[in-house]
Amino acid sequence: MPTVLGRFCRKKPLGAAGGALMLLMVFTAVLAGPLSTHDPIATDAGHTLAPPGSRHWLGSDHLGRDIYSRIIHGARVSLIVGVVSTLFGSVLGGIIGLLSAYVGGKTDLLSQRLLDILQGLPLLVLALVMSAALGPSLTNVIIAISVPIIPRAARVIRSSVLSIREMQYVEAARALGLGHLRLAFRHVMPNTIGPFIVLTTAQLGSAVLVEASLSFLGLGVPEPYPSWGRMLSVSAAEYARNAPWLVLFPGITISLAVFGSNLLGDALRDTLDPRLRGA
Amino acid sequence: MSIVIFGLMRLAPGNIVDILFGSAGYVNEADKQLIMQELGIDRPIWVQYLHWLRDIVSGEMGKSYRYDLPAWQIIKPLIPVTVELAVISTVIAVCLGVPAGVISAVRQDTALDYGLRLLSLAGLSMPSFWLGMVIILTLVAWIGWIPPVTYVPVTENLPIHLVQFLLPGLAVGYRSSALIMRITRSTVLEVLREDYIRTAWAKGQSGRVVIWRHALGNAFLPIVTVIGIEFAFLIGGLVVTETVFNLPGVARFLVQAILWRDYPIVQNLVMFIAIVVILSNLLVDLLYGWLDPRVRFAG
């Protein structure tokens, strides 16, 4: 394993940098408590809109809350929403794709048409309608973001299962008299793990972006959880002319997180899926 | 499609009547029932669904709960704003993305290539609404110029109107251009390895003709596909961007209608967006035949 990791770092320095960035984010999220300097939701009427300095490293917002501590704690919400919704959507979509390709025939046709319908809507619009319909809460935001991911995941896994299904080892396993479920999950599924990893890293970035957009519009994770998107919301925009740090730092953090996962995703795709190299 | 959209909207807890009365603070059950009856939301769900379908077919598209007007009447004047913004963003995206992709492919593995690729990846990583906010802030900080807060129609003041659309267009277009650039780069790279390109070089044709005529000509199909797919993403991006730049378009109105639980408006807008996306995909399919004779003859 160390040699694999070392080779990856040498061949894909940018991907490794992205991975390091993601690790840093996870690290921040886990150690949010000791890393932060203030209580992220404590207001301080005496120090509203303070510029970045020794007291508030990245300034404070219109309620006197410390921006740095809020960003650190926001990493928890944004990463949890991003990672859980990506995994949930990809696993569910992956299983649908696996079964639909394995069974084939009318099941395949029907599920494909259903997914076509879901995919006819832009990711953000679907997530927007879903989260509005479900009401704002952490779980609902995760559901709202993972549902639009399902059709995308199903399509990727389906196409790779379609070719795996025809391979000789699957035929051999069937000749041994294995049941369909065992065949699908034990023999076919492990070979879709490459595309699956590529898919999840690629979707992670957009999941974080959608969460930020939802929170920005006030349909995301509710107060008092600090989330990066919420920090940029309308109330921040009002004060931005006098206090640009309100807008600048959370936005940079979102961009860095997504940038990291995109870099890592690209490098992983190049490594695991040589057909798409350079795309 | 229509059933899915309808179903999604009815998942919502609470209805418009509760919200309307919630702000009044005092609720009279009889009044509430009367209003619900008037709006037709006291009837069974499937009746409401059939009514909605009838409204769509008749072209009236239902009635807004909040504005008490046919939905179509409210949506119609908003469409040009969104279309204009979408077109401007797409033009910006193509103008930035295609040349950048070609340059990056021709100069593969040079510093220029890496720089352009990083720039495009950065574009994919930034939330477009944040980019919009930063653009406004920079303008304010550097030139001290504050863009008008309210929407200025073309007829009133052309330059300000243009600036009002160019700024959000840039914010959305930069993001889209990143995807277009990536696909342009990879397809041009692939095409450049083909035999007929070598032949063109061997004939002594200039680099510009080989790259822009011979190579790009054949690389265009995947690029057009991405522009078509991008169009769907673009509409998603517009939702937040129109809100940031305060442009009275369809996308901003969708957000407002969602916050108001104005089902007829939300349903119709989402249906409208879905139709636009499907139509743009159809258009791309039709363009294939026109752009690539091989597709035409095979079909």
In chain B, which residues have their Cβ closer than 8 Å to the Cβ of A117? Answer: 1, 4
* Residue A84 binned pLDDT confidence (cut-offs 50, 70, 90): very high
Helix axes B111-125, A245-272, angle to 10 degrees: 120
Out of A129, A251, A262, name the one closest to residue B270 (CB).
Answer: A129
User: How far is Cα B40 from Cα B164, in angstroms, rounded to an integer?
Assistant: 40
- Residue B207: Cβ-neighbour burial (10 angstroms; 0-12, 13-18, 19+): exposed
pLDDT, residue A87, reads: 94
Stretch 203-262 of chain B: residues touching chain A, C-beta under 8 Å: 232-233, 235-237, 239-240, 243-244, 254-255, 258-259, 261
The answer to whether A75 touches A32, Cβ cutoff 8 Å, is yes
Q: How many CB atoms lie within 10 A of CB A54?
A: 5
The token duo for A44 is 């301080």
Q: Is the pLDDT assigned to residue B25 strictly greater than 70?
A: no
The answer to whether A165 touches A102, Cβ cutoff 8 Å, is yes
CA angle, residues B193, B198, B204, in degrees to nearest 5: 145
Q: Rounded to the nearest 10 degrees, how much is the dihedral formed by the CA atoms of B189, B193, B195, B197?
A: 50
What's the mean pLDDT when you consider all of chain A? 83
CB pairs under 8 A between A and B: 126
Preferred mutation among B126, B130, B138 to probe A, highest tally of A CBs within 10 A? B130
Task: State whether A129 and B258 contact (CB < 8 Å).
Answer: yes
pLDDT tens sequence across B108-160 = 888 898 889 888 888 888 888 888 888 888 887 777 766 666 777 777 777 78
Out of B10, B133, B254, name the one closest to residue A240 (CB).
Answer: B133
Nearest residue on chain B to A260, alpha-carbon basis:
B125
Q: Fold for domain B78-247? A: MetI-like fold (1.10.3720)
> Letter for the amino acid at A128?
L
For the segment A65-80, the average pLDDT, to the nearest whole number, is 86
For the segment B174-179, the average pLDDT, to the nearest whole number, is 87
In chain B, which residues have their Cβ closer than 8 Å to the Cβ of A120? Answer: 1, 274, 277-278
pLDDT, residue A224, reads: 73
Is residue B185 less than 8 Å (CB to CB) from chain A? yes
The token duo for B288 is 């294939």
pLDDT, residue B106, reads: 86
Q: Is the pLDDT assigned to residue B204 strictly greater than 60?
A: yes
Is residue A124 less than 8 Å (CB to CB) from chain B? yes
pLDDT, residue B278, reads: 76
pLDDT, residue B53, reads: 66
Phi, psi (degrees; rounded to nearest 5) at A137: -165, 160
Out of A121, A216, A248, name the one closest to residue B129 (CB).
Answer: A216
Please report, for chain B, the start and end positions of each structural domain, with discontinuous segments joined by +. Answer: 2-70, 78-247
Preferred mutation among A201, A209, A210, A277 to probe B, highest tally of B CBs within 10 A? A209
- Residue B164 CB partners (closer than 8 Å, separation 6+): B147, B148, B151, B152, B245, B247
User: How far is Cα B180 from Cα B177, in angstroms, rounded to an integer?
Assistant: 5
Is residue A36 less than 8 Å (CB to CB) from chain B? no
Task: State whether B273 and A125 contact (CB < 8 Å).
Answer: yes
The token duo for B223 is 């690029």
Q: How many CB atoms lie within 10 A of CB B199?
A: 12
Task: Looking at mean pLDDT, say which of B17-31, B204-218, B259-273 comes out highest.
Answer: B204-218
User: How far is Cα B121 from Cα A266, in angstroms, rounded to an integer?
Assistant: 10
- Residue A259 CB partners (closer than 8 Å, separation 6+): A18, A21, A205, B121, B122, B125
Is residue B140 less than 8 Å (CB to CB) from chain A? yes
What's the mean pLDDT when you consider all of chain B? 76
Q: What number is the ipTM of this complex?
A: 0.80
Task: State whether A120 and B274 contact (CB < 8 Å).
Answer: yes
Percent of chain B predicted with pLDDT > 70: 71
User: How far is Cα A124 from Cα B19, in angstroms, rounded to an integer?
Assistant: 25
